[in-house]
Homo-oligomer: A and B are copies of this chain.
Amino acid sequence: MDAIDLSLVDLLRSNARLSYAELARQVGLSAPAVHERVGKLESSGVVRGYRADVAPEAIGLGVTALIGIVEDSGADSDDMLESLRVLPEIESCYFMAGVESFLLKARVGTIAELEQLIVRLNRTPGVASTRTAIALSTKWENRPQPVGPPAA
């Protein structure tokens, strides 16, 4: 992970569809060199994948909610995790410090679907209680912050 790798990561975070040739021009290497570096970044787990950033409302996911989960005393967090993982509406899942063990970001199409999700969560073994906060609007999300010395 030298400065060139950081530049590559930065470039790919802002536009994952840049060609290797274009990346090469930006960092001042040849295309095969960039190809190899990016390959190593991928196989070492630094770059986990490439995602299109899609407007959620455009694909019928207009409701965003953040849900905190308090665990039963004695509940097994790993079991709970597996229960949460199978719910596709849960886009993100953080294990938190504090009373609420988990914080979920969920996206659904309608408030009715959100209600169903919350009911399902409360029925999940190990869940003592949930607390849901609805996002009225997403100002921005997953904004890549510049990394390392930006002026390469």
Residues of A within 8 A of B (CB): 1, 6, 9, 12-17, 45-55, 58-61, 64, 66, 81, 84-85, 88-98, 100, 102-103, 107, 133-148
Contact = CB atoms under 8 A, between A and B. Distances in A.
A49 B55 CA distance: 10
B135 A95 contact: yes
Contacts of A98: 133-134
B48 A55 contact: yes
Nearest to A89: B145
19 contacts: A6-B59, A14-B51, A15-B50, A47-B54, A49-B53, A51-B51, A64-B94, A66-B96, A81-B139, A88-B146, A91-B144, A91-B145, A92-B143, A93-B138, A95-B137, A95-B139, A97-B133, A97-B135, A102-B139
